Amino acid sequence: MKSAVVTIKELSFLSGYSISTVSKALNNKKDISSETRSTIQNIAKQHNYIPNNYAVALRNKVSKSIAVIIPKLTEGFYSKALCVLQKEADIKNYRMLFYQSFGCEKKERTYLNSLNDGSIYGIIVISDDDSKINDYANYTMPIEVLNIKSFYTDDQIQLGSVQSLSKLLGA
């Protein structure tokens, strides 16, 4: 089954222009004519073209996405942290992806390894294990550990979550 998402390659076919020219038109580059740019942009609009944010992030080496690895979403104290992180990420114009490790270190490592491809800005690992802070030195991307205990108050969870995101983003 073919995807409903229109790609630059498909826009190239539909417009009759090269992929390079389509890319330039969609990025408002001035080295193509305004007529060509307008034609391609109209075709893109007709087909509801949406840029692939991950491809853009890889090309520009800048991503506005962060990942959060959480042990178990159904634990109230973890879900509170996730809620705060989501709200704060939205305020800072970052998208958030989350992954559940279910407390499995192997699953956590698999996520970390697959996310280390440049498609995201950084990762927040939520944990109740104080020793995790030193586990991520070998990764090239920013990783922040948000340590949360089950007995933390809502205020402590909120403060820790905000601080963790700010530290990850360098703010």
2 located within any domain: no
- Among 3-17, 53-67, 91-105, top mean pLDDT goes to 91-105
What pLDDT was estimated at residue 81? 94
Tokens 């601080």 found at = 163
**Can you give the residue range of the structural domain that contains 37?**
8-51
* Domain shared by 115 and 93, yes or no: yes
Q: Are 142 and 150 in contact, with CB atoms under 8 Å apart?
A: no
Domain of 128: which CATH number? Answer: 3.40.50.2300
Output the pTM of the full model. 0.69
Confidence of residue 1 (pLDDT cuts 50, 70, 90): very low
When the pLDDT of each residue in the chain is averaged and rounded to a whole number, the result is 86
* Domain shared by 90 and 36, yes or no: no
Residues in contact with 32: Cβ distance below 8 Å, sequence separation at least 6, in sequence order: 21, 24, 25
146 located within any domain: yes
* Domain shared by 142 and 65, yes or no: yes
Q: Each residue of 107-163: pLDDT tens digit?
A: 998 999 888 877 788 999 998 887 776 777 777 889 999 999 999 999 999 999 999
Amino acid letter, 144? E
Distance CA 165, CA 66 (A): 9
| Total structural domains within the chain | 2
* Domain shared by 90 and 155, yes or no: yes
What pLDDT was estimated at residue 60? 60
139 located within any domain: yes
* Domain shared by 77 and 127, yes or no: yes
145 located within any domain: yes
Q: Each residue of 34-50: pLDDT tens digit?
A: 999 999 999 989 988 88
